[in-house]
Amino acid sequence: MNIRTVATTPFSDQKPGTSGLRKSVTTFQQPHYLENFVQSIFDSLKDCAGQTIVLGGDGRYYNREAIQVIMKMAAANGIGRILVGKSGIMSTPAASAIIRQYKAYGGIILSASHNPGGPEGDFGIKYNITSGGPAPEKVTEAIFAHSQTIDSYKILEAGDINLDKLTVTRLGEMSVEVIDPVEPYARLMESLFDFDSIRKLIKNDFKLCVDSMHAVTGPYAKDIFEKRLGASGAVLNGEPLPDFGGGHPDPNLVYAHDLVEIMFGDNAPDFGAASDGDGDRNMILGNNFFVTPSDSLAVLTANATLVPGYQDGLAGVARSMPTSEAVDRVADKLNIACYETPTGWKFFGNLLDADKATLCGEESFGTGSNHVREKDGLWAVLFWLNILAARGESVEAIVKDHWKTYGRNYYSRHDYEEVDQERATELMERLRSRLGTMTGEQFGGYEVKYADDFSYSDPVDGSVSKNQGIRIGFTDGSRIVFRLSGTGTKGATLRLYVESYEPDASKHELDTQLALKPLIDLAQEIAQIKEYTQRDQPTVIT
C-alpha cells in the first residue's frame, strides 16, 4: 500500500457555515483545498480507524472528482469501509438514513444544496455524525481548528474506483461498497406512510407533479412516485445534471418556475412539490395555491396522527427561530412541547435524540422528523399525500380550515443577496446597538414588546449559541427578524423575516405582501435596509 504524505499550508477560510463548508467550485479546485478540509475532518474524529463512513453527494459539478479524492484519503487515514452511493449520488436525507441503517460511524456529504452548480457555481462538503445528523458546533469548530494548523495530509496512491456499478472492492486495506442510494430510503418511506391509500388516491385521478429541478431527488422521486405509487409521468426535471440544467435548485416560487407555471396555470394538477439540490428541502403547492413552509409544519403537526408512522402522537415539535409561530399554536392545543432553535438543522439533533421533539421545521422549506436527522424533502411530500388521501380534501381546503381553527400567521421572508459584506455587518451592528433601549418604544401603531439578539441554550447538553439573529417582537404578536445568511458564497445575504397574526377568519384572504406591508415598511424604517444594502427591492421574496 502506497500512502503519500503531502505537505500543505492552511487556508484561512475553511470555517463551516450554517450547513458545512460552501465555496465556489474554483475555490475547491485550488491545490490542497479539498484535501486540507477532508484531512481536518479525519483528524478531528476520535477512534474512526476501522470504522464505516457513508459518502455521496448531490451530483453537482466536481462531485465525482471529490469522491475519488475522499475515498483515497479515507483509505490512507485507516477508515475500514466506505459506503458510496452509485454514481456518487446520495441525497442528504438518504445519507442520514443510510448512516443510521448501517450503523456507520458518520458520513461525508458533498453538496452546496440550493446554490447553483457547474464550473462557475458552488460546491460544498459537510460531515454528519453517528446519529445521521449534521455535525454540531463543537465538531465543526474542531474541524476548523485543525484546518488552521494543518501541515500535511495523507492520501493513498491508487487508481479510481468505478462508481457506476454496484460492487464491493478495495482501496488498500479499506473496503469500498458502491450501494444503491435509493432502495434503503424508499423502504424507510414505506415503513412510515400508507402507500396503499396514496396509490388509491392517485388511481382515482388525483394528479400530482414533482419537480426535481435536475438535482438529486430525480432517481428517488421516479422510484417512489412513479414506480411504487403509480403516478406515471409525475416527475419533472428528473435527470440529475452537474449544473442542474443551468437552474438554481432552490424550491421557491421564483426558482421553481417550471412547476409554478403548471400549478398556477389552467387545469393545474391537484398537488405540486419541488425539492432542492440535495433533496432536504420541499415546496408544497396545491392547485393555484402556495403553502408557506411555516404553515406546512403546522398542518403536518395538526394532522400527524393520520399517518401510520406518527399515529401514536408526537413527543413535541421544534422550529427554527425565524420560522413562524403557526406551529406553536398547534403544539399548544395538543399540549406538547414546542422548542425554538437557531437556524440550521444541526440544532434539532439533540432534541430528536432525546425524544423531546418528533417533527421539526424551518421557514426555508425544510421539514423533517425523527426518522432521520436531516430535513427531508420527499418525506414531506409523502406526508402531505398521506394527509390528502386520508382527508379527501384539497390542499387549499386543508390549509384554510387550519387557519380557521388556529388563526393565520401571515409570513414572508425577504432576501437581499450579494450585498456588500461590510455594509451588511454595519446594518446588523447598528441594530444590535439599539436593542437595549427598544422595549416599550412606539413605532406608529406598533409597540415593541421585546428586542434581542437570539441566544439558544440547548436543553439537552447545555451548550449556548449566541448572536443567532435580531428579533423585534410587538405587543400585537407580530415580529420582524434580521439575520445574515451562513450559506451564501458571494458577499453577504441579509434575510428579513416578517410575521403577523390574524385570528379573524374573515381577514384570512389578504395577499401576504399587502397584509404585511406595514411591518415591512417598519423594518425598512428601523434597519434602513435600502440605505445599507443600496437596493430598492429584495432579490427574492418568499
Nearer to ligand VG1, 275 or 358 (CB): 275
SS in 3 state form for 139-175?
A: HHHHHHHHHCCCCEEEEECCCCCCCCCCCEEEECCEE
Q: Residues 264-283 vs ligand VG1: string with x where CB under 6 A?
A: ------------x---xx--
**Is 113 labeled as catalytic in the residue annotation?**
yes
How many residues in the chain?
542
Q: Residue 364 binds which entry of Co ion, ligand VG1, none, with Cβ cut-offs from 5 to 8 Å by kind?
A: ligand VG1
Backbone angles phi, psi at 138, to 5 degrees: -65, -30
Nearer to Co ion, 77 or 113 (CB): 113
- Identify residues 466-505 at the interface with ligand VG1 (CB under 6 A): 485-487, 495
Q: How many beta carbons lie within 10 A of that of residue 521, not counting itself?
A: 12
Cβ-Cβ contacts under 8 Å for 88 (sequence gap 6 or more): 56, 57, 59, 63, 64, 67, 110, 163
Residue choice 362, 376, 458, 499 for contact with ligand VG1 (CB under 6 A): 362
Does residue 412 belong to the site contacting ligand VG1 (CB under 6 A)? no
- Identify residues 284-323 at the interface with ligand VG1 (CB under 6 A): 320
Backbone angles phi, psi at 4, to 5 degrees: -105, 135
| DSSP per residue, 247-295 | S----STTT-HHHHHHHTSTT--SEEEEE-TTS-BEEEEETTEEE-HHH
Catalytic residue among 19, 44, 111, 113: 113
Does residue 345 belong to the site contacting ligand VG1 (CB under 6 A)? yes
Q: Residue 485 binds which entry of ligand VG1, Co ion, none, with Cβ cut-offs from 5 to 8 Å by kind?
A: ligand VG1
Nearer to ligand VG1, 16 or 269 (CB): 16
| Total binding residues toward ligand VG1, as defined by CB under 6 A | 18
Nearer to ligand VG1, 345 or 410 (CB): 345
If you search the block for the grid coordinates 432517481, which residue do you land on?
Answer: 219
Nearer to Co ion, 177 or 417 (CB): 417
Residue choice 269, 344, 361, 473 for contact with ligand VG1 (CB under 6 A): 344
- Identify residues 15-74 at the interface with ligand VG1 (CB under 6 A): 18-19
End-to-end Cα spacing for the chain: 53
Residue choice 122, 194, 223, 280 for contact with Co ion (CB under 5 A): 280
In 345-457, which ranges are continuous DSSP H helix?
A: 349-353, 377-391, 395-406, 421-438
SS in 3 state form for 326-340?
A: HHHHHHHHHCCEEEE
Does residue 324 belong to the site contacting ligand VG1 (CB under 6 A)? no
- In the chain, how many H helices and how many E strands? 18, 27
Residues in touch with ligand VG1 (CB under 6 A): 18-19, 113-114, 276, 280-281, 320, 343-345, 362, 364, 366, 485-487, 495
Q: Which residues bind Co ion (CB under 5 A)?
A: 113, 276, 278, 280-281
